[in-house]
Every structure is written in C-alpha cells, then in structure tokens.
Structure 1
Amino acid sequence: MTEDFLRQLMEHLLQGRQLPKVQVERSVGPILGFFLEDVLTATLKDDEFLSGRYRMLCPEFPLIKENNRQSTNIDFLLYNEDRQALVFLELKTTSSSFDSNQARRYRISRIRVRKEGASYLLKDLDNIQTHSSESGKYDTLKSLLVNGFNRFHRDLETMKKCRHLHVIYLVPAQLKESEEELRKMNKTLSFDDLSTELHRFNREWATIRKALLLPLDSNPEQFDSSPQPESGHINFKARASFDEIKTLCSKLGAQIVVGFTWGGETALMRADLKQLQQRIYKWDHAMGGNGKKLPNNWIAGNKFLDYVKILEAASVAD
C-alpha cells in the first residue's frame, strides 16, 4: 500500500465531515482502530497513571442505557495489561458530536466497575443479546473478546475480575480545550497528541496521522460549523502545519507569536527538525491576540523562523 494511496484514501474519507448527517467516525474508526493499541502504548508511555501495554479487545462494545433495554456502543474497548484496567476509548471528529449524557454514562461505568468489578458488563452483554434480533452478531463480538484476551494469555475471567476502568477521549483540539466535561475523564487526547513513532507500520501510521491532523486539529473553524466557544476558552488565532507556520512567520515576523508548549524558546532549541515538521502549531497576533497566554510558552514569529532556518541549513550540510 503506497503512501500516496493512503493519503488520498484518508482525504476521501474525511471529506464527509463537511456533509450533513455523515458520521466520519464510522469511516476512519476501523483504520484508526488497527493502529490504536500501539498508538496508545506509545503516546501514554510516560503518563504517571495510564502508561502500559494497551491491547485491543473489540470495537463497538455495547452498554445498556439506564432504565431500559436499549444500548449504546463504546467506540473501542481495550485493556491496559500493565495497569490491569479496562479502557473505554471514545472517538469524536467534530465538536458538535460530543454528548454530555454519553460522557456521564461512562463516568457511571467507571464508578460501577470500581465497586462491583467489570463482570456486570458481560452480564449486560448477555441481556442485550437475548433481546436482539441479531443474536449471532453478539456471538461474534464475544469471540472477539475471547480472542483479544487470548492474544496475551488471558481469558474472560480477567475482565470479570477487573476493578479498574479508564475513560479516554480522542477529539479535535478545539473540543479538548473548550469542553469542561472532558476534564472529568481519565485522559483527553487531540490528534496532535498522538505519538509519531510506532514499532509496527510506522510509515503507514505517519501518513494516516498527518491526514487526520490537518482537517481535525489544524483549522477547526474551517471544517466545523458548530458554535465556537467564548473567547476566554481560546488563546490563539488558528493552527497551522509546519510549512504554513513558516510562511506566516516569513510574512508577519514579530507581528505574530507561535505556541510551543512546555518551555517556549528553550524547548524549541532542544527540538530536532523532524519533530518540528510533524507538529501542528498554534499562532496568534502579538498585539491584541486572543485570551491569556503564558509568555514562556510562546515565541515571536521571527525568532521561530530564524531557528528553523538554522536547523534546515544543518540538515542540508549533513
């Protein structure tokens, strides 16, 4: 599978974000799901509470809704082998698709697993299957669960005895920054947060990650017609790719500032060119910009460009 084919495929799938009633999560979910256990393992490897080896169990695991026999599905059910914790991962590709009732349901599940253990999830699955007209599909789902645990020498008893559940959301950066409910989850990741380095299929993942970044994280107002949050929640004008931010810095220089979290200019000087090329950058006007900013996390556009030019010259010399 060539890089060009993957890029065009992802562009084709993501075009649907701009169409009414098209759920892009259903299009990109299976592709993302193929990489997800490795992506989470790499992305969260330094997290104090969530690091560990992630294992995919199944997509679309059903949960019974409160007080009725209807169900709603978790996008992905995983297991953190080192933490001995189940993981609900919910994927969103637009701000408007966030559902506060769904988030509340996940928090309730987290509490219930801690108190009762996760065996009730399997009992509820049996109950859903009993009342479903497509009972055979639930047998397939159960087989996926069994095979998922068997891959790392566990079985469904592992799930039944589990008393830890982590809830992780993967969402556009704008939603991550503006939605207060997401702060109640164990972790909220934007697409820019996802690791650039995997042990398997690294080149393919790099193409897919880049394809996700530009429409989902780089310029949300262009691709998302949902209401914008109040200005107090946002402290930047827009996002830009590496080439786009270079162009902006070249045109506007010190009239803009470039976000560089956890250290600003000092952190920039420790970065290498490849890291910089893979990032998405926040930027804003130096005078009269949006929101409050920590000065140490922002760099004048002319200084950012000067350092990039030094790195690019060094790479040519090598």
Structure 2
Amino acid sequence: MQPAAASGPTLLGVDVIWVATLLTGIATLAVIIAIYAATTVRDPMARRVKALNERREQLKAGIVASTNKRKSLINKNEAADKVRGILSTFKMIQGSQIQDIQVKLLQAGIRTKDLAFFIIFGRLILPVVLGGLAILAVYVFDSFPDWGAFKKYALVAGTLIGSYKAPDLWLKNKINKRSVAVRKGLPDALDLLVICAEAGLTVDAAFSRVARELGKAYPELGDEFGLTSIELGFLNERRQAFDNLASRVDLEAVRGVVTTMIQTEKYGTPLASALRVLSAEFRNDRMMRAEEKAARLPAIMTVPLILFILPVLFVVILGPAACSISDSMIGGG
C-alpha cells in the first residue's frame, strides 16, 4: 500500500501553499493589466477634436448648403431609417418623446440624435426577448422546480420591467457621470474665462482658449466649451449658442453661467466680475461637497473594517500563537 502524499502546511484548515499560489496569480494578472493600461493611454483630445470638427462642418453646411444637401446630411443613417420605419409601423414614434430622448443623448455626450430611435426600439425589443427567455426558463423548462409561484412570477415580472427600463437607466447613468465630470472642472474653467476676459479676448475666443487649456484635464467640459465656441462663430443668434450649452449639460451651475453670459451680452455688464463671483461660489460648493464626503467616511468604512480588515488583523496577530500551540500539542502528544 502506497503512503499518502504529504500535504502542505495549513492554517485554520486552509492549505497555505494553495492560497499563496492563488494570490500570486491574482497579483500577476493585476500587474499585467496595469502595464497594459499604462502603455495604451489614449489621448482624450483626439476624439473630442473629431467630434468638434464634425459639428463645425454641420453648421457650415447648414449655412451655405442647399436644402437638398442639408437633408442628405441629416438623413444618412440607413440603420436608423429602418428602425424608424419599424417604430412607425407599431405607431410608437411621438415627437415630444423623440425630442426628450435627443436632449438626454446630448446631455450624455452622444451627438448622434438618431440613437433616440434605437433607445425606443430597445424598450420594445428587450422585454420581448429577455422576458420571453425568462418565461421559457421558468414555466416551460421548469429551471427552478423548488421555487414557489410567487418567486417565479417575481422573476418574470422583474425581468420584463428591468429590460424595459434598461435603456433609460443606461442613458441616465451616462448623464450623471458626465455631469459630475463637468461639475469638477467648472470653477477652473470660470477662472480661466475671467483671465481671458480681463486680457481682452472676445467671448468665443475665450471659450475656445479654455477648451484647449482644459481639454486634457477635463475632456467633457472642454468638449462643451469647444462646441459652444464653434456655435458662437456660426449661429446667427449668440444667445442660441448659450441656450444650447445649458440644454446639453444637466447642471444648475451651468445654467447660472449661461444666464450670466446672456445678461452680459444683452446689457453690457462687466463679464469678469460676474464670472469671478460665480467661480468663488462654485469653489465653495465643491469644498462643501468634499467635506460632506469626508464626514460620511467613518460610517462607510465601518462595514469594510469589520468584514475585511479586522479578520486579517486577527489572523496576523493570533496566527503565529495558534501555530505554536498546535505544534506544542502535537509534540506533547
């Protein structure tokens, strides 16, 4: 009879060599991911410049092109046309609904307005597909035989509701992320606007300069300011460019800046002093939000401290003593 293979050292019934091997593999994978992320850094300016150039060409074409050419520029997405035809067949297209979704797409940083039809199409097709799969899995194939009738109904109903709300939740998440990114850089952008105004630059030149300076640090804010600078140079009414900025960014602070810019354009009030006051208010607001997060930190850290830090601390402190006691008992026996 062959002797049993010798097992490695254990701690609290867990093979130490196996755990060390697993942790080494995880650490190696993390190092590989970090190296890949460091060597494949993308320039945030490239995509923004491309989008701004497209918008410039659209505005230029809208001014100098004929009506037929404008229509060809607008209606060039064949996939969107097919989806629009399907939605028209089911009578699911409403002008106010399309306009509302297009505004949300702009707030999320998506310039393709035709994506609104895909959002509505997703509301139509996702409940049919995912809900149908849930019904087949629960009631036809009986994948959960131990579940009661209420649990099965809750799973199917949750799948249907979740799949219907999924496009809106995705869009709302992108809007929130972009709004937070714009809010972070707004005080710095206003400071630069004050410097540009005091240096004698025009409003559109000041917006363009701020967009270039803050494009890498805050690409979302640089995108919006660059687009506003282009619209100030091409649109007939400068107020329309500021209104477009307020509609593209879902922030009360941006709407306050837009109101200030419109008033200075209309009444000729000093721009630098008004922007300086707004910048100080936004900085105080940012500091208050940081202090609020810092005050919530002890309560947030309580659960991770109990679940992850204290058990590790107990293992480090009591582990050697437990090993010594175990060795003494085995040796004495």
TM-score range, shorter chain: under 0.3
Normalising by structure 2, report the TM-score: 0.26
Higher helix share: 2
Larger radius of gyration: 2
